[in-house]
Structure 1
Amino acid sequence: MSNADSLDSAEDAVEAKLQAFIDAIEDSETYQQFMAANERLENDADAMALLAEFQQTQQQLQQAFDQELMADLQELQAELANNETIQHHRAAESDLIELLQETNDVISEPIGMVFAQSSGGGCC
């Protein structure tokens, strides 16, 4: 077996294990709960409108500070905090991020570097 064949074989094995890892994440209860929360959010017109209004107000405030806009933004933040669909989505998202960070730590330890981090690259 040539070096090229050996490298191809190793890369194929990595690809297979990567796909198994992806499948395991997708099958996890945490990921399933996030996807359900995401679907619920997308189907909640009131929550989506509230998020859009919040984002629009944030953008307006970034363009020019205005005390009235700041008050509007604070009011919208309170509404976001009280919206059950949005809070459920945020909690599910936080749980998924925690799971992914834990998997990153497990992968990073044996390879001796942070797995999900750029190691530089680029030419300039």
Structure 2
Amino acid sequence: MVMGVYSKRVIRYCNYSRNIGSLPEHARDVVTCVAGEEACCDVMRLQVSIRHGMVDEVRFQMYDCGSASCESSLVARWIEGRPLEEALAVRNSAIAHELGLPPVKIHCSRLASEALRAAVADYRSKNAQQCGG
């Protein structure tokens, strides 16, 4: 990562990334989503454990994009322990603003929010099927 292009906050999140890894895929409360585009090498695998309408745990894996990994780490910190609706309120503009992203990397801030929305939609779909809805 080129130091002069990125803010100190991005560097800090990259150096102290948390939530990297995976959760048990077959656990009932874990949903997995992949977001991004392989063509531009920005792909994120997001796993969210949702219990009683709350984001319990978040894990992610990034493929080929350092700044997106920093953004994912930030989002994971923001949403763990929050109700689903609060987690869904996270917008890529807030991520970009918090990290002071350079304009060329703004598109990376969309990965985490897109993956989160897809994971929650998958959770809700599965939960509706289990409840007969």
Give the TM-score of the pair, scaled to structure 1.
Answer: 0.32
Structure number with the higher strand fraction is: 2
Structure number with greater CO (CA < 8 Å, separation at least 6) is: 2
Give the TM-score of the pair, scaled to structure 2.
Answer: 0.31
